[in-house]
Chains A and B, each alone.
Chain A
Amino acid sequence: MTKQIIVPFGPQHPVLPEPIHLDLVLEDERVIDAIPSIGYIHRGFEKLVEKREYTEYVYIAERTCGICSFIHGATFCQGIEQIMNIDVPERAQFLRVIWSEYSRLHSHLLWLGLFADSFGFENLFMNAWRIRERILDVMEQTTGGRVIQGSCKIGGVRKDISNEKLDEMRRDLDSIESEIKDLTSVFLQDDSIKHRLRNVGKLSKEDAYHLGAVGPTARGSGVAIDLRKTGYGAYGKLNFQLVTDSCGDCYGRCAVRAKELFTSIDFIRQSIQKIPDGPIDVKVTGAPNGEFFARAEQPRGELVHYLKGNGTKFLVRSRIRTPTLTNIPPLVRMLQGCELADVPVIVLSIDPCISCTER
């Protein structure tokens, strides 16, 4: 019988933007099992709900993640609005979609860059991040913040985008789309990338579904789950084709994210075309009394904010279930049977966001 050894992977590793530790059980260079450990950056966000009024907690919720921050804030607001039966003006709902999709563009481009870096394509990494800068510029111009926007509030949004600026953004999207086409054609068609990613980190459709995979991790295995299909916010007024890939490997997950860039651009275009004039917020009075599981589609997958209020200005409970938390069990399954050299690429293929996960 081959001798088994345990190789620690992380918490600090060149491919990991944030700390996660894996104990890899190896036979020769083949991974037999992987035991994940997190907990290096637990920040106690959920405890803070006892100290901050529900209106202030929007800022906390938004800081859960430094990449998909806007969607965290919007999902928290969506949950409170459901509990309090607040009708958010239509213009605000469209603005939330626009900023959410810009967040997705920024997140996917960031990941594509990091992924390219993980398999040694420095130039591709720089190109992905160069385009991402243009997305961040729009976020900054329209909200005032590149990473933390602070533009969402309960009952609507804090800032409007003028129709002239929306026109400018629509025109700008044409050249961004053209640059993204060039970039993604390398990811999708380059032989050396296909060779590096094909059949690496396989996850079957059945495993993806039953292990609770969400987002591009699930869709890259052919599981058609995307919360935007539920039509929350203004998504119900917009059309889109869900992107899936049946490969179930690192290439499949990469292909889904690359193609979803165009879905996001299409969402923004449709929103700019359909956004009505009108108010961007409503006055909110009272305090939430009840509970709701607010769900939204983040760049990494399904996000759940469970909120429970008791009629006071302090919530009883805020629980944030991030996509990475539920993508950890599928990651363990992907790693079983892989080669040690493939571990960094496989770990990165789920787009792990550990700060989000630990809250």
Chain B
Amino acid sequence: MTREIQETVPVEVGHLIGKVEEFRDGSYRLVQINCSKVGDVYEINYSFDKDYVFRNLRITVTADTEIPSISGMYWGAFIYENEMHDLFGIRVKGMNIDFKGHLFTTAVKFPFSIAPSTPFKGEKP
């Protein structure tokens, strides 16, 4: 069996934008952004590809963390960032198109979320 090599590099939230810029400058395309609930934190993977080489950046955040949008560098990222907000309740700052929770309509609000320990400004606990 041939196993595809998939590199995953953990980064701090504060360094995310800089690292994503490196991928953009290296002509990588954004494959996807996805979020997973692991215990009481979220793992968010940013996947890039160039010439079929698949690389990931991973940030690990708590429910209280506001993460920066990468839609300034990858315009199409808004679709994934809105999805993360609507399904996980993750707050993303600076999205180029913000659906404000109306991209995915679900019967249960934020179905995959960990309840944030402190309510965000303007949100009900």
B78 x A329 contact (CB < 8 A): yes
B103 x A210 contact (CB < 8 A): no
Tell yes or no: A304 within 8 A of B by CB: yes
Contact with B along A249-284 (1 / 0, CB 8 A): 000000000000000000000000000000000000
Tell yes or no: A292 within 8 A of B by CB: yes
Tell yes or no: A330 within 8 A of B by CB: yes
Instruction: Name the residue on A nearest B87 (C-beta).
Output: A46
B104 x A326 contact (CB < 8 A): no
Contact residue among A37, A209, A317 (Cβ-Cβ distance under 8 Å from B36) = A317
Tell yes or no: B97 within 8 A of A by CB: yes
Interface of A is mostly: mixed
CA distance A326 to B47 in the complex (A): 13
Tell yes or no: B118 within 8 A of A by CB: no
A39 x B1 contact (CB < 8 A): no
Tell yes or no: A313 within 8 A of B by CB: no
Contact residue among A39, A232, A306 (Cβ-Cβ distance under 8 Å from B34) = A306
A212 x B31 contact (CB < 8 A): yes
Contact with A along B70-99 (1 / 0, CB 8 A): 000011101110000010000000000101
A87 x B31 contact (CB < 8 A): no
Contact with A along B45-65 (1 / 0, CB 8 A): 101000010101000000000
Given A210-B74, A317-B36, A326 and B1 touching (CB < 8 A)?
A: no
Count, A-B residue pairs, CB within 8 A: 90
Question: Size range of the interface on B?
Answer: 35 or more
Stretch of A78-86, A114-122, A141-149 on the interface side: A78-86
A87 x B1 contact (CB < 8 A): yes
B105 x A42 contact (CB < 8 A): yes
CA distance A321 to B3 in the complex (A): 20
CA distance A69 to B52 in the complex (A): 24
Instruction: Name the residue on B nearest A302 (C-beta).
Output: B31
Chain A contacts for B52, CB-based, 8 A = 227, 229-230
Using a CB-CB cutoff of 8 Å, which residues 3-34 of chain B contact chain A?
3-4, 6, 29-32, 34
Tell yes or no: A138 within 8 A of B by CB: no
Chain A contacts for B3, CB-based, 8 A = 82, 85
Instruction: Name the residue on B nearest A294 (C-beta).
Output: B4
CA distance A46 to B36 in the complex (A): 11
B74 x A328 contact (CB < 8 A): no
Contact residue among B1, B47, B103, B111 (Cβ-Cβ distance under 8 Å from A293) = B47
Instruction: Name the residue on B nearest A358 (C-beta).
Output: B104
A37 x B47 contact (CB < 8 A): no
B34 x A295 contact (CB < 8 A): no
What would be 22 A-B contacts, judged by CB atoms less than 8 Å apart? Answer: A37-B103, A38-B103, A39-B104, A39-B105, A42-B104, A82-B3, A85-B3, A88-B1, A211-B75, A211-B76, A229-B52, A293-B6, A293-B56, A304-B32, A306-B36, A308-B36, A316-B36, A321-B32, A325-B79, A328-B79, A329-B75, A330-B76
The 9 tightest CB contacts between A and B, nearest first, are A329-B76, A39-B105, A317-B36, A321-B32, A212-B76, A39-B104, A319-B34, A211-B76, A87-B1
- Which residues of A pack against B, CB within 8 Å? 35, 37-40, 42, 44, 46-47, 81-82, 85-88, 209-212, 227, 229-232, 236, 292-293, 295, 302, 304, 306, 308, 316-317, 319, 321, 325-326, 328-330, 358
- Which residues of B pack against A, CB within 8 Å? 1-4, 6, 29-32, 34-38, 45, 47, 52, 54, 56, 74-76, 78-80, 86, 97, 99, 102-106, 111-112
Given A44-B106, A87-B1, A295-B54, 10 more pairs with CB closer than 8 A: A37-B103, A39-B86, A39-B102, A47-B111, A236-B2, A293-B47, A304-B32, A306-B36, A326-B32, A358-B104
